């Protein structure tokens, strides 16, 4: 199955004997994925439309998504968790609101976020003081911009000028979500450190 793999060496997530087959995701990581996906999808289905109808600004959806993706990334530090979070959030959102097909843009954003953070490195995105701010914010903005391109071009049929503005607003939402996500993970890290003392 897709969530199993052969472990032949020690890495950041596994510390087992050679040749042992184990689940790729632990129960803790599955819990993180489900919690973050549920949070994102429920808020997107019920709160985001209110914000959109009041302002017609798209950045609230990006903010919710990036916060959820940042939390699951920090919690698991494993490639694929962010993408699966996006897929599950999409499924739940479509179950709650069958007309919310624009959410596929955020599914693509989750994939981009997952790939970029893997390429940059999880320690660089989450643990280094200045580098984590730069890398996580730029990744958040890039992922949200991808969502803006997909939603604006496929679901809203915007002209080029309108699409550029729409993408910039999505990127701004990604920056806000990345900032809040960074604050949350720093606070959670500090809380865990205090509990260990």
The CATH code of the domain that includes 122 is 1.10.1760
Q: What does the pLDDT read at residue 15?
A: 45
Instruction: With H, G, I as helix, E, B as strand and everything else as coil, classify residue 47.
Output: coil
Q: Is residue 53 part of a domain?
A: yes
Contact (Cβ atoms closer than 8 angstroms) between residue 76 and residue 32:
yes
Q: Residue 109: name the closest of 157, 69, 52, 78 by CA.
A: 69
pLDDT digit string, tens, across residues 25-38 = 888 889 999 999 99
Say how far apart CA 108 and CA 83 lie, in whole Å.
Answer: 8
Domain tally, the chain:
1
Q: Is residue 128 part of a domain?
A: yes
In 47-80, alpha helices (H): 48-55, 59-76
CA atoms within 13 A on the CB side of 66: 32
Question: Mean pLDDT over residues 97-120, rounded?
Answer: 93
Q: Is residue 5 part of a domain?
A: no
Q: Is residue 3 part of a domain?
A: no
Q: Is residue 182 part of a domain?
A: yes
pTM recorded for the entire structure: 0.82
Measure the CA angle with vertex 98, ends 40 and 42; round to 5°. 20
Q: Is residue 161 part of a domain?
A: yes
Q: What does the pLDDT read at residue 194?
A: 61
- Read off the pLDDT band of 195 (50, 70, 90): low
Sequence-ordered strand ranges (E) for the chain = 4-7, 20-23
Q: Is residue 132 part of a domain?
A: yes
Q: Is residue 47 part of a domain?
A: yes
Say how far apart CA 189 and CA 184 lie, in whole Å.
Answer: 8
Q: What does the pLDDT read at residue 197?
A: 57
Q: How high does pLDDT run on average in the chain?
A: 85
Q: What does the pLDDT read at residue 20?
A: 59
Question: Mean pLDDT over residues 36-60, rounded?
Answer: 89
Domain of residue 149 covers 26-196
């Amino acid at each position: 199955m897709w969530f199993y793999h052969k472990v032949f060496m020690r890495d950041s997530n596994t510390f087992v004997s050679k040749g042992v087959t184990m689940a790729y995701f632990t129960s803790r990581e599955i819990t993180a994925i489900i919690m973050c996906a549920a949070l994102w999808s429920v808020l997107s289905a019920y709160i985001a439309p209110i914000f959109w109808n009041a302002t017609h600004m798209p950045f609230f959806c990006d903010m919710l998504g990036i916060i959820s993706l940042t939390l699951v990334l920090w919690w698991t530090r494993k490639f694929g968790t962010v993408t699966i979070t996006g897929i599950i959030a999409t499924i739940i959102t479509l179950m709650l609101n069958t007309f919310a097909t624009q959410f596929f843009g955020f599914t693509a954003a989750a994939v981009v976020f997952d790939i970029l953070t893997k390429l940059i490195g999880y320690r660089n995105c989450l643990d280094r003081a200045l580098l984590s701010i730069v890398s996580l914010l730029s990744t958040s903005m890039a992922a949200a911009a991808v969502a803006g391109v997909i939603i604006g071009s496929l679901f809203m049929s915007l002209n080029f000028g309108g699409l550029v503005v729409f993408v910039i607003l999505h990127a701004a939402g990604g920056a806000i979500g990345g900032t809040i996500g960074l604050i949350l993970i720093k606070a959670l890290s500090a809380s865990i450190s205090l509990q260990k003392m």
